[in-house]
Structure 1
Amino acid sequence: MNLKKIITIASVVLISGLLIYGGILANQVFSKNTKFSQSEVFVFVPTDATYEDVKKILEPFVENMNRFEMVASKRSYPENVKSGRFLLTKGMNSYDLVKAMRSNVPVKLAFNNQERLEDFATRVSSQIEPDSLTLMKIFKDSIFLKENGFTEENVFAMFIPNTYEVYWNITAEKFRDKMIKEYHNFWNEERIAKAKKQGLTPVEATILASIVHKESVKKDERPRIAGVYLNRLKIEMPLQADPTVIYALKKKDNDFNQVIKRVLYNDLFLTSPYNTYKVIGLPPGPIAMPDITALEAVLNPEKNDFIYFCASVDRFGYHEFAVTLPEHNINAKKYADWINSQGVKR
């Protein structure tokens, strides 16, 4: 056999071998390698996770880990693990999986209608990596509070309900910094001027808005209620807001899960800075997270002469308003008679 023939045969063998290897490699890289039935799933890689940690996280979703590891190794993923939230879609191959694990997908973080800072921290921690205790510690950091003009009682006013885009593995500090930035974005010069016109700071406006928020779910009525409370503040009359008494009762019992439908006469004597029947002016902090309509109601209140109001028995969800105490007493008796007829004790 001459040399030319030997070279030809060797070349054929080599090429065949390369084709076979190429086929195996292509199968390793580009064949389907997922085993979940959903169209997509998110996986979460904690901060400081190792490659071994990632493999354990991915194991329930990857059909053949050996194939994934081969591609991951070729693409230097084990040395460059990223933490965060990653999107896997059904039918991804190993190449796609490795690529996906390098693309941190933001979270649409939403919150509203939280009653306390603790509830807010729990809500947020269910959507990002930092836990609620870490968030609480960061929110109440004394240096941060002093630098930004908050106290532990009123720092809850910093959080403006909305939907925000953040990375799942954002640190507690960076999340707090984003929230204070959003707070200043909301409290622009125009809104600060409107609050000042009502004799309020942004924090005070938020505290009052939290009361308005709790008083009525009817957005069209909130500017009127805000007007009433501002009238009371101007004449230095106690706000006499039942929602603040309910908050004080819950705070005293350290039980914010209890349902209180009725404020009793004896409740009005509870000693608490949140009992606005005994304390003139605003409570030291918000009694809830007011939504934007409640905030705007305080900034754009209805101009009226009303001093009193109570729940209506003719238009459920709304209130009856009065200028004088005798007028109010008629409305209040009507409501008291109705609620007694319903057997509501508490």
Structure 2
Amino acid sequence: MTKQKTSQGGSLKKFIIALVVLAVIGLGGTLIFYYLRYFDANVTGKEEYLYIHTGEDFNDVYKTIRDKGIVKDTITFAWAARNMKYTNHVKPGKYRLHEGMSNRKFIRMLQLGEQEQVDLSFHVFRTKQQFVGFVSKKLEADSLTLLRYLDSAEFVKQFGLDTDNAFVMVMPDSYKLYWNIAPDKFFKRMYAHYENFWTPERKQQAAAINLTVPQVSILASIVDAEALYDDEMPTIAGLYLNRLRKGMKLESDPSVIFAMNDFTIHRVLNKYLLVNSPYNTYMHTGLPPGPVMLPSVNAVKAVLNYQKNDYLYMVAKEDFSNRHNFAATEAEHKINAAKFHKALDEHNIKK
């Protein structure tokens, strides 16, 4: 009887040990299962960024990840995404990918919307169409949508601008923006930077030369288009302000080129001066209704801090240095212009 009890006790002990071993093995297997699905490296190095567009759902994200080979194992990614409840919390954005990221780290980044900001730096653009084309390559918004906002009288009215001069609120600089920033917020960001530049002191400077804030930028755009070298900008600004005060036409070649919408023109011919456009300053007195290019900050400052001079005329130097000969009288200007036109003829520049 004692032997039978001992034998039964030994069997029970072995059974318990076996259960414990199986439990440990099962637990270990479960831990490995979860580790591989959550913590094992899964993101490949095939793509630098994952772009999730506004309005996309998890199926769209999953398709992009699968089609672009962003993860090695899409099944474990989808499993982890469902278990982490990401499938119903998709956030648009531009997400930087790091080779070897685990599903957990990758999904957590997407879940929290931890996207990388875009560095948007720009300088000179001739037209707002060129500008929105550039921006659309950096941000999610397409160029037509961006242009519609600039051309919307209702939208730009909130900034005290109109569709002719709204472009002046875009100031060349470096900006950090989220890739999926909405178009209206993008322009509000541009305007905030513009407003920050226009301090009370600068507004007083504008008033002192009888120009509104937008008009300063419009004149600056002409100055910028004329001057290749920044050190000439205050001189040119002074010249144009002299003409404005005297009620003379500005007669600016860049304004005619803008009116022609042909920026390949190197020689403004008499026939070009007949183009019927409010931007043709040979035909119309005063400033054009909007900028002829996106003016630089230096050009705006040059207008506000213009050089006080007696110049009324300017023409490019005959040495093609991209500098100018300035004149206070028409007679002197004709001599300078003749030298430049002779140089154009000698180099066979007809257009």
TM-score, normalized by length of structure 2?
Answer: 0.92
* Partner Cα distance (2:37, 2:104) in 1: 9
> Could you tell me which of 49, 54, 60 is aligned with 1:53?
60
> Could you tell me which of 90, 105, 118 is aligned with 2:99?
90
The structure having more radius of gyration, on CA atoms, is: 2
Match of 1:178 in 2: 189
Query: 5 Å matches for 1:1-346?
Result: 1-2=8-9, 3-37=12-46, 41-59=48-66, 60=68, 61-102=70-111, 103-250=114-261, 256=262, 259-314=264-319, 316-346=321-351
Paired positions, count: 338
- Checking the alignment, whether the CA contact within 8 Å between 1:87 and 1:100 is kept in structure 2 is no
- Checking the alignment, whether the CA contact within 8 Å between 2:149 and 2:156 is kept in structure 1 is no
* Partner Cα distance (1:34, 1:166) in 2: 26
| Structure 1 segments (4+ residues) deviating >4 Å | none
SS in 2 for 1:334: helix
Give the partner amino acid of 1:179: M
Task: Give the superposition deviation at 1:315.
Answer: 6.3
SS in 2 for 1:306: coil
* Partner Cα distance (1:23, 1:152) in 2: 62
* Partner Cα distance (2:185, 2:320) in 1: 46
Task: Give the superposition deviation at 1:105.
Answer: 1.9
SS in 2 for 1:89: coil
C-alpha RMSD over aligned residues: 1.6
- Checking the alignment, whether the CA contact within 8 Å between 1:210 and 1:294 is kept in structure 2 is yes
- Checking the alignment, whether the CA contact within 8 Å between 1:88 and 1:100 is kept in structure 2 is no
* Partner Cα distance (1:280, 1:289) in 2: 22
Task: Give the superposition deviation at 1:88.
Answer: 0.5
* Partner Cα distance (2:100, 2:303) in 1: 53
SS in 1 for 2:288: coil
Match of 2:5 in 1: none
* Partner Cα distance (1:67, 1:147) in 2: 50
- Checking the alignment, whether the CA contact within 8 Å between 2:38 and 2:102 is kept in structure 1 is yes
- Deviation per CA, 1:248-289: give whole Å up to 9, x if none: 112xxxxx5x51111012222322211111111101110100
- Checking the alignment, whether the CA contact within 8 Å between 2:235 and 2:306 is kept in structure 1 is yes
- Deviation per CA, 1:37-66: give whole Å up to 9, x if none: 57xx11110112111100112122111111
Task: Give the superposition deviation at 1:215.
Answer: 0.4
Q: Is there any run of 5+ residues in structure 2 with no aligned partner, and where?
A: 1-7
* Partner Cα distance (1:128, 1:314) in 2: 43
- Checking the alignment, whether the CA contact within 8 Å between 1:308 and 1:322 is kept in structure 2 is yes
SS in 2 for 1:286: coil
- Deviation per CA, 1:8-47: give whole Å up to 9, x if none: 2201110111112212321222222123257xx1111011
* Partner Cα distance (2:309, 2:44) in 1: 65
Give the partner amino acid of 2:39: F
Give the partner amino acid of 2:55: D
* Partner Cα distance (1:105, 1:35) in 2: 18
* Partner Cα distance (2:56, 2:94) in 1: 13
Match of 1:253 in 2: none
